[in-house]
Structure 1
């Protein structure tokens, strides 16, 4: 080919030197320019005076390939004859993914329904991404069927052929065209086996067997009635399967399972863990009951009413709440507990319904105390929680709450 023009920083130049970023236009090019979801080719352009590393190929204008990259060696001038080289390994991976996309598209329509329509795609060297219309998340069985059917079509090694024809003839052939693509009078059609016919200008392998295994790796929503699948093909799919096998082997070792017995070992481990957690919960409940009894022993009485205020050692605010509920069972009236957890202060207070009916509120009783902790709390009248960042002030906060509770009870006498 011949260099027709060179753009550098948006300006036409006659020559570009080493290290400069450029966009080069040739009189002819074997590079594929990004379109239809397929990424552009990479490679090299070499003249007698230098070479350009091509990092991307785009349609700068309809039908005009812009080769974007960096001058790697020497310099390149307008008018020079050049040799082009495509990254063939990368192109081959892209071809596998593109043909894989067509088979996957057919499998989705065959499994889920003809209402499925392509709504976008990405065909890259490392993966394929396929967006399609569907009103709900496909269930796991449907996705498994899609993957199985796709791979069966790959294994059948059907021919992949292309033909250029009129749009009218292509439509008569049943070629599918989706997501708003516009076509001229002459179109390119890709036929895969005897089941998939699509409008497509991309690159493909000559037979489905070259796609290699197709592995679905994710499925999710990307909008209303719009789903997205991601998959791997060829070497990338094989590498993924090897990594899964390696993980399974490691898991067998961790669970001391015989080969092929991983699920049974995992179920047994989960059942054992559930039993241990149940026993631990029982132990914790008994221990909490003993602490609750010890706290209840500290109860002071004000007329007919009980008041207990205590600091406790707990792991978190939920444990403090559970302890307070157990204390309430033994000592109705007013209870206020506090604890320092990870440097933060927590308070919880309860007030019996009879006292709530007399105008007392758990939230109000610890409102001022929570300020000692540098925070605030809920306003629930029967059971309120509060907290703040100053865990070292829990003792002071409890004393403040005790004073406020005593004053409230005295007001009832």
Structure 2
């Protein structure tokens, strides 16, 4: 039975038993930034189990894509070398939210396994928590499993909990017996770690709430969370012992063999590559980009491990991205989002392959040399150098070392990492503001409705400490009971303005959240005195606020335009919106072309001219996303969210301040497009009067260039091209003349060559030449003098330029690099190069003649 058939039979079975089939959620948990990746089917229902969310159904079933790599699930080194370790897998699950409990959960599982899948009853074993008599009774008296195949487990393996406190409960696991030909004992036995008995389904019964003291309290509505790995059950159904032999993997392993040229399909490197393309492709589909932190670094580690295994198979050219098409063929029907993102996924992977290829070969050379020298332990210094200089994740180095039966010094690596962090801190040019301790009322925000509001001072902070009052000239942070000031959030800068009281004026230069719902107004008391409890008029700077609104609303239009022009793979990766400009970071794996920038700019300005009403609406998070509102991955949203829409062109979840109509923005101009990280681009833009001023400045500069060229502005480009052509021609003529001049000088200089122990040595100054002419002259001297050492120098722009050459017959004793450094030190410089040719520079031109006279002595000493 194919994996796709098993997946569909599972969903169909539970749908006929009253379950709502829910699509797989993304691998990046949208509402839980504390979790690195979705690693189980229950993740998308976490808030339901915690009672913080309600769904219109009480039974659900899903086929959930999952990633377990990084954090406590970091067993990357085992992937490809064992039968069942994977970075990516699919979890089939059925869930009950206060509806059915143990009896139905067990009966559903048994019916599906022995019915639609037709697994023989005597091949199935079950475990229950040692104290769970209820579950044991169901297995023995209703399912009628043989008592010899039901095992009570007393350890935590059969008791699940979400955390130290909260929902928890016993588990019941179902195992498949592969038969006596496979080593291993039944669950709970001393040989349980063998491969004969494989867990295929885990049924979790959430029936308790554990409090801070550790005591268990029954939940009013017990729930069920189950999970069955598709790959494991497919191995059972396809009668193979290793997951890597199921249909899903066979196709990918064959594809990996095709692109690497490896013929042995049992090679572990092919298994690694086949596993990793699934994880990498789905992570990129779900908007993760290779990077140096968090989720991006986990993706980079997986990618680079796959690339290294291709290198191990002899594949030195980018190959990994070629497997995306094969993966889409295998899994695209079940996951249409993968098919839609195919081109983007392949592009990101190829970019990372090319990036790593630059250092992989050099890094492997360093590693091979170290492995040959360091015995059975690779030092922490080497591991750190590979990480820091060549981009080798630690587990990649460990992977290679393990193949050679060499351990790595992790403790030494951590020491090197700590030293690097200390150096980084020491060189930092900023200090963190002391965190402000606050216990009290939240700040009530009125900034959507008004720019001025009466308030009372709740707390004053000076130099990080709470004070009762501040005097004129003192810096402080003021917390108010209510405010029209917007606190920095979602990429929008905090408001500036002033707080006016009968006793003084406090100038607010920034507003930040010191807690989730507590606003701190940072600034200086310009005059008078402020005391805790004072009544103030909080007044926002209206010019800065409206300019910020222009830029924020334009950012929404820009985001929508980017997705329309470049594709739906574009998502926001960061933004900065203030009164002066906007900056928008987004996922895209190549630099934008000039015509794309113009298209986007034109589209945004078209939407501005349409003068859309900018509407805001509060609604449930799920409803907002269902209606197409863009939500940012990694952001934690409350149940009720604010939706900002501009006609049918842009709809986003946003708490920022905006214009009333898109036409208020006036004009939009992109001023820069650049890359900030692998797969992430940045656009900087201006709006309104700032954009107009930028255009006027460009026109003024164009006019100045036109005046210099004595051409009309529309003819300036052609005239400049003609000038540059003329300059290039003149430079060629100058080069010819310099070469002739050098030739004339060299004819007389060659007679000055001295002979030392049978070797001709020449050190001389050439005038009015450049480095290119020096090289040509050096080659000429080496050719004519045969066995020789030559050092030539010149002065260019008040700087010394030096070149040294040694003929091949002498490089065993005399190195051009050593010689050039000896001479360069005397003229205030340094240099380097090969044994036969080296260059240097210096800052002391008056020392050049004397430095050249020292060459013969150096040669004599070193022969």
Q: Same fold (TM over 0.5)?
A: yes
Greater mean alpha carbon deviation, residues 371-380 or residues 92-101:
371-380
Conserved 8 A contact 1:373-1:397: no
Q: Does 1:101 align with 2:562?
A: no
Greater mean alpha carbon deviation, residues 31-40 or residues 93-102:
31-40
Residue aligned with 2:546, SS = helix
- 1:116 shift after superposition: 0.7
- Sort the Cα spacing of 1:402 and 1:226 in 2 relative to 1 into closer, same or farther, 3 A: closer
- 1:215 shift after superposition: 1.5
Q: Does 1:164 align with 2:615?
A: no
- Sort the Cα spacing of 1:106 and 1:396 in 2 relative to 1 into closer, same or farther, 3 A: same
Greater mean alpha carbon deviation, residues 380-389 or residues 142-151:
380-389
- 1:280 shift after superposition: 1.0
| Rounded Cα–Cα distance in structure 2 between residues aligned with 1:368 and 1:33 | 62
Aligned match of 1:348: 804
Pick the aligned partner of 1:290 from 744, 747, 752: 744
Conserved 8 A contact 2:754-2:760: yes
| Rounded Cα–Cα distance in structure 1 between residues aligned with 2:507 and 2:484 | 15
Gaps of 5+ in 1: 409-413
Aligned match of 1:411: none
Structure-to-structure mapping, 1:389-404, within 5 angstroms? 390-400=847-857
Structure-to-structure mapping, 1:102-121, within 5 angstroms? 102-121=556-575
Conserved 8 A contact 1:370-1:387: no
Aligned match of 1:2: 455
| Rounded Cα–Cα distance in structure 2 between residues aligned with 1:19 and 1:139 | 51
Conserved 8 A contact 1:296-1:308: no
Deviations 1:306-346 (A, max 9, x none): 94635232455554332222334555443634436457584
Q: Does 1:277 align with 2:731?
A: yes
- 1:35 shift after superposition: 1.0
Q: Does 1:312 align with 2:765?
A: yes
Gaps of 5+ in 2: 1-453
Aligned match of 1:74: 528
- 1:166 shift after superposition: 2.2
TM-score, length-scaled by structure 2: 0.43
Greater mean alpha carbon deviation, residues 277-286 or residues 8-17:
8-17
- Sort the Cα spacing of 1:347 and 1:144 in 2 relative to 1 into closer, same or farther, 3 A: closer
- 1:86 shift after superposition: 0.9
| Rounded Cα–Cα distance in structure 1 between residues aligned with 2:659 and 2:689 | 14
| Rounded Cα–Cα distance in structure 1 between residues aligned with 2:722 and 2:831 | 44
| Rounded Cα–Cα distance in structure 2 between residues aligned with 1:403 and 1:332 | 18
| Rounded Cα–Cα distance in structure 2 between residues aligned with 1:196 and 1:364 | 66
Residue aligned with 1:44, SS = strand
| Rounded Cα–Cα distance in structure 1 between residues aligned with 2:722 and 2:671 | 28
| Rounded Cα–Cα distance in structure 2 between residues aligned with 1:36 and 1:339 | 59
Aligned match of 1:243: 697
Aligned match of 2:814: 363
Residue aligned with 2:513, SS = strand
Greater mean alpha carbon deviation, residues 197-206 or residues 330-339:
330-339
Q: Does 1:196 align with 2:650?
A: yes
Residue aligned with 2:741, SS = helix
- Sort the Cα spacing of 1:201 and 1:324 in 2 relative to 1 into closer, same or farther, 3 A: same
Aligned match of 1:40: 494
- 1:124 shift after superposition: 0.7
Aligned match of 2:776: 322
Residue aligned with 1:82, SS = strand
Residue aligned with 2:483, SS = coil
Q: Does 1:54 align with 2:508?
A: yes
Conserved 8 A contact 1:295-1:308: no
Residue aligned with 1:363, SS = coil
| Higher-helix-fraction structure | 2
| Rounded Cα–Cα distance in structure 2 between residues aligned with 1:195 and 1:345 | 60
- 1:60 shift after superposition: 2.4
| Rounded Cα–Cα distance in structure 2 between residues aligned with 1:362 and 1:324 | 20
| Rounded Cα–Cα distance in structure 2 between residues aligned with 1:93 and 1:119 | 23
- Sort the Cα spacing of 1:373 and 1:206 in 2 relative to 1 into closer, same or farther, 3 A: closer
Greater mean alpha carbon deviation, residues 215-224 or residues 307-316:
307-316
Conserved 8 A contact 1:362-1:384: no
Deviations 1:193-222 (A, max 9, x none): 211011111111111121122121222222
Aligned match of 2:441: none
Structure with larger RCO (C-alpha < 8 A, sep 6+): 1
Conserved 8 A contact 1:135-1:226: yes
- 1:67 shift after superposition: 1.9
Give the count of matched residue pairs. 400
Pick the aligned partner of 2:640 from 186, 203, 210: 186
| Rounded Cα–Cα distance in structure 2 between residues aligned with 1:200 and 1:366 | 61
Greater mean alpha carbon deviation, residues 276-285 or residues 315-324:
315-324
| Rounded Cα–Cα distance in structure 1 between residues aligned with 2:534 and 2:643 | 35
Deviations 1:158-215 (A, max 9, x none): 2211112222332232111114222222211111121101111111111112112212
- 1:122 shift after superposition: 0.9
- Sort the Cα spacing of 1:242 and 1:368 in 2 relative to 1 into closer, same or farther, 3 A: closer
| Rounded Cα–Cα distance in structure 1 between residues aligned with 2:789 and 2:737 | 24
Pick the aligned partner of 1:86 from 518, 534, 540: 540
| Rounded Cα–Cα distance in structure 2 between residues aligned with 1:56 and 1:151 | 30
- Sort the Cα spacing of 1:211 and 1:384 in 2 relative to 1 into closer, same or farther, 3 A: closer
Conserved 8 A contact 2:791-2:852: no
TM-score, length-scaled by structure 1: 0.85
Pick the aligned partner of 1:145 from 582, 585, 599: 599
Note the aligned Cα RMSD (angstroms). 3.2
Pick the aligned partner of 2:670 from 185, 191, 216: 216
- 1:103 shift after superposition: 0.3
Conserved 8 A contact 1:299-1:306: no
- 1:155 shift after superposition: 2.0
Residue aligned with 1:260, SS = helix
Conserved 8 A contact 2:789-2:806: yes
- 1:61 shift after superposition: 2.5
Conserved 8 A contact 2:618-2:640: yes
- 1:385 shift after superposition: 5.8
- Sort the Cα spacing of 1:274 and 1:26 in 2 relative to 1 into closer, same or farther, 3 A: same
Conserved 8 A contact 2:781-2:790: no
| Rounded Cα–Cα distance in structure 1 between residues aligned with 2:832 and 2:574 | 50
Aligned match of 2:580: 126
| Rounded Cα–Cα distance in structure 1 between residues aligned with 2:467 and 2:549 | 35
Deviations 1:50-76 (A, max 9, x none): 221111112223322222222212122
